[in-house]
Amino acid sequence: MTTDNSHDWALATQAIRAGHARTHEQEHGEPIFPTSSFVYASAAEAARKFKGEEPGNVYSRFTNPTVRNFEQRLAVMEGGERCVATSSGMSAILSTALALLQAGDEIVASRSLFGSTVSLFDKYLGKFGIVTRYVELSDLEAWEAAITPATKLLFAETPSNPLSEVVDIAALAEIAHRHDALLAIDNCFLTPALQKPIELGADLVIHSATKYLDGQGRAIGGAVVGRDKELEELFGVVRTCGPCMSPFNAWIFLKGLETLNLRMRAHCENAMALARWLEAHPAVSRVHYSGLESHPQHVLASRQQQGYGAVLGLEVAPSSGKSARDAAWSVIDATQVMSITGNLGDVKTTITHPGTTTHGRLSDEQRATAGISEGLIRVAVGLEDIDDLKADLARGLDALV
């Protein structure tokens, strides 16, 4: 654990200062340790380190000082006892499952999950006899009804992508614990700068560091934060099975965390301004953003979150002979600043048509249940000037009126 008093600091200070154990070189910036292994002063020391009788580094698949720096910083920021970094967000989820579940166990998960998470649960965990039941994210009664004596894990993303649905984390944690299950929250969309699931009762927080923790689209990585007990199991999985984070990527994420607090506030400000402007545009039939008073869970989001994030959905209707899908595509194709890509969590604004990309492999019925209409467009709002973003969308939207 950390040797500083970073637990007492505010988030902005933790993000900049926590976890750096300065070496004898007295470096000011966090060093990168690009080494696969570590050496010992004697055969006896090597024996003690290998047996685990003496703490210290052995091999970078187990521990690495730069990776540890990132883990300690994120653990403190999320308010967890310990963090284990992984090679990607997906391997963070896989490692959690390998650590905590076995054949015959069940997961209850929200229906609005990152696509690869659903594939991981159904296609791969399913092969090993782990069953996942899906429920409507905000429907607490449905969560409880889906729990069986075999349920070991509840898993949710909140707010959801791309419709910004929200679940009451404290209420869901209470349900999980009443049934002896753990609650894992994928906190990718808000980060600890805007939401602290552990303080609300969640047991595990999962991150794709690829998104806002980096914030500039440079590297793939992930992390799990929680209590020592579960994280020791997770550490065992990562150390043995090998989805460890590279020290270079850990360093990039450390630099990303230093500006996280500022960036998330700026992302939210831009997203809110864009959402309000879109809501007033005559070509837009609906805007999905939990920061708007028109969002059905605005009150819950305001209580649970310190901000509303920067992913929003807007819907356009069929217009002047164009189907809803063609209308949406024309708005996307008219942009010149935004990037047409499925990624998010970047200073660069991205725009996509979920119905034919991220949710394209679902059946029409599954898409309808998930609320992904043909006219839906997702914007992950970046940090460009807000007037340039409005003008970029106005080009296509004005043509639909």
Ligand X SMILES: *Cc1c(COP(=O)(O)O)cnc(C)c1O
Given the rule CB under 6 A, which of 65-73, 85-93, 175-183, 278-286 is the region that contacts ligand X? 85-93
Residue 164 engages ligand X in binding (rule: CB under 6 A): no
Tokens of 71: 């883990």
Phi, psi of 322 (to 5 degrees): -90, 140
Given the rule CB under 6 A, which of 168-176, 204-212, 231-239, 318-326 is the region that contacts ligand X? 204-212
Q: Tokens 């300065």 — which residue? A: 22
Phi, psi of 156 (to 5 degrees): -145, 155
Residue 88 engages ligand X in binding (rule: CB under 6 A): yes
92 versus 284: smaller Cβ distance to ligand X: 92
Tokens of 320: 């002047």
Residue 210 engages ligand X in binding (rule: CB under 6 A): yes
Residue 191 engages ligand X in binding (rule: CB under 6 A): no
| E-strand stretches of 159-221 | 182-186, 204-208
Given the rule CB under 6 A, which of 83-91, 267-275, 314-322, 390-398 is the region that contacts ligand X? 83-91
What's the min distance (Å) between Cβ of 298 and ligand X? 21
289 versus 400: smaller Cβ distance to ligand X: 289
Tokens of 314: 């807007």
Which residues, in sequence order, are bridge partners of residue 212? none
117 versus 352: smaller Cβ distance to ligand X: 117
Among 71, 105, 106, 157, binds ligand X (CB under 6 A): 157
Q: What is the DSSP string of 249-280?
A: HHHHHHHHHHTHHHHHHHHHHHHHHHHHHHHT
What's the min distance (Å) between Cβ of 221 and ligand X? 7
Among 211, 263, 288, 359, binds ligand X (CB under 6 A): 211
CB environment 309-337: b (16+ within 10 A), e (fewer)? bbbbbbbbbebeebebbebbbbbbebbeb
Residue 114 engages ligand X in binding (rule: CB under 6 A): yes
The footprint of ligand X (CB under 6 A) covers 88-90, 114, 117, 157, 186, 188, 208, 210-211, 220, 222
